[in-house]
Amino acid sequence: MQVKSVLEKREQEITFLFTKELIKYHFSDDDGTPKFHKFNRLKKIVEYWYNNKLLVLNISDKNYKKLIYFEEPKKVVDHIARGINTHINTSEYIKPVFNFYNRFGSTKYVHGNTSKDVYEAKKSHINYVAMDSGWEGICAKTLEEIPEVISYAKNQFLGFRIPYVKDGNDKGYFPDFIVKVKNSKGIVKNLMIEISGMNTDKDEKKWYVLNRWLLAVNAVKEKYDYEEWHFIEIANDIRDIKNQLINAIINL
């Protein structure tokens, strides 16, 4: 297909195409059946995105917006989907999709060999913490010392993965630690800790953790009887990690 033929398309054709792709990737049920009854409402969202959010750099002719047709459809609709419900991200709108074969994982299945330095753990169900960096060793030692920490596990051989999307590609983010804690009111919570600083795709990882994953799993915590989940990133001076963790834990 040539540029000329795309520029001759009507804008309605472009928005119709991406509405179908949006339904395909983001508004289908667990069996992959499209929810076409939402088509008209989603088409209005796509049209708004096309008219108000899609920019053509260094070209004044808005007709060239139609060249988005050549972009990977999933990449485009993933971007549109991120803007849906951002002001009302609540349990009414965000629901988790569980692994069909393994809905809930457990540390009792953790087993593996490593050549990394290790830290012997007392509060962890796993006997050693495999350290990718010295920071993780400091974090493990600090978790052992904080009274509010009930137990913890380094996310090594555990397979604890949070899905996210970057440039239309499905990826996975693995937080460094998973911790069970008690806040100042004695309420038990789950806390994910990121130590390494998320060297790649940091913005995407944090967005999906805070705006999708946490909202989804916390929406059904009563139904499946597990503690609420939270997230913290230790991004400043590692020497102050104990104060950062204690302040985060007691205020959960």
The verdict on residue 132 lying in a domain is yes
The verdict on residue 176 lying in a domain is yes
**Residue 193: CB partners within 8 Å, gap ≥ 6?**
139, 175, 176, 177, 178, 179, 231, 232, 233, 234, 245
The verdict on residue 89 lying in a domain is no
Give the integer Cα–Cα distance in Å for 163 and 202: 13
Residues 38 and 143 in one domain: no
Q: What is the CATH number of the domain that holds 237?
A: 3.40.1350
Given this model, what pLDDT does residue 252 score? 92
Cross-strand partners of 165: 170
The total of structural domains in the chain comes to: 2
Given this model, what pLDDT does residue 87 score? 54
Identify the sign of the CA torsion 105, 111, 117, 123.
positive
Residues 129 and 11 in one domain: no
pLDDT in tens, the chain (252 residues): 678 888 889 999 999 999 999 999 888 887 778 999 999 999 999 999 999 999 988 888 999 999 999 999 998 998 898 888 655 555 556 778 888 788 888 888 888 888 888 899 999 989 999 888 888 899 999 999 999 999 999 999 998 999 998 877 889 999 999 999 999 999 999 999 998 766 788 888 998 999 889 988 998 899 899 999 999 998 777 889 999 999 999 999
Residues 111 and 77 in one domain: no
The verdict on residue 93 lying in a domain is no
Domain hosting residue 35, numbered range: 3-84
Residues 74 and 195 in one domain: no
Residues 132 and 37 in one domain: no
The verdict on residue 100 lying in a domain is no
Residues 141 and 214 in one domain: yes
Picking from 24, 53, 84, the residue at the C-terminal end of a domain is 84
CA distances from 27 to 94, 113, 138 (A): 12, 41, 43
Picking from 50, 84, 118, the residue at the C-terminal end of a domain is 84
pTM beyond cutoff 0.85: no
Residues 59 and 156 in one domain: no
Residues 137 and 192 in one domain: yes
Picking from 84, 115, 130, the residue at the C-terminal end of a domain is 84
